[in-house]
Structure 1
């Protein structure tokens, strides 16, 4: 499969993403645990069928020390015993936040309240922004058919000055 578009080749998209990508990267510096961020990003990407992001977040999480067992069980997290209660709450929030059209009223109070038991307001906001951002990047990548498989762990962990240059920060 080959990509339909390269968003960084478009002046309009490049200018837009030049601001969004660094903003999204600030989430990595939040107090929301990095392992939780990668698990959530992976689960959202699985739901949306974004092969590029599944590849990226699986490899980045593994490079950061995440176990193969946990990565392989993200898609079946409800049945798995390897996730903490906090991680399970984040994954539930991510799923409901990704599947907004599946239920009237969006994220249920039960799911929100469970997440709020485990995360403070700053972490909850980071989680909400992560869900929204991942859904954006997944949609851009799926619509443009960005291929998966060639991602190298950490290749996009750079600053905004490198945006759009080959092998530098682009889209999650």
Structure 2
């Protein structure tokens, strides 16, 4: 479902295919997740704003933060992720 929507929205096949190997490519960053390292660079922020408007980008940051929180809860409590 999400892949189909991403392609309809103009996401490249390359980025979709490389999602599984996201840590081995420079097509993705963890700047919001690893904010303690360098934070979100002005370059990344400006690129995001050129693609999304500020309101939608704020929603993306909230989604990332929520996913990070749930991941930390699951890892900290050693609870398996359901199917």
TM (normalized to structure 2)?
Answer: 0.68
Cα distance change on mapping 1:78 and 1:111 into 2, 3 Å: farther
- Match of 1:101, SS? coil
- Match of 2:80, SS? coil
Alpha-carbon RMSD across the aligned residues, in angstroms, is: 2.7
Larger radius of gyration: 1
- Match of 1:100, SS? coil
> What is the aligned residue count?
72
Cross-structure match for 2:63? 130
Cross-structure match for 1:119? 52
Stretches of structure 2 that go unaligned for 5 or more consecutive residues are 5-13
Q: In the alignment, does 2:48 pair up with 1:102?
A: no
Q: In the TM superposition, what whole-angstrom CA distance separates every residue of 1:108-145 from its partner, at most 9, and x where no partner exists?
A: 10110110110012211111101111111111011011
Cross-structure match for 1:66? 3
Of 64, 73, 76, the match for 2:22: 76
Structure with a larger share of its residues in helix:
1
TM (normalized to structure 1)?
Answer: 0.36
Stretches of structure 1 that go unaligned for 5 or more consecutive residues are 1-63, 81-87, 152-172
Q: In the TM superposition, what whole-angstrom CA distance separates every residue of 1:95-117 from its partner, at most 9, and x where no partner exists?
A: 101011222xx211011011011
| Structure 1 moving runs of 4+ over 3 Å | 77-80
Cross-structure match for 1:18? none
- Higher relative contact order (Cα pairs below 8 Å, separated by 6+ residues): 1
Q: In the TM superposition, what whole-angstrom CA distance separates every residue of 1:65-86 from its partner, at most 9, and x where no partner exists?
A: 637x83x621337748xxxxxx
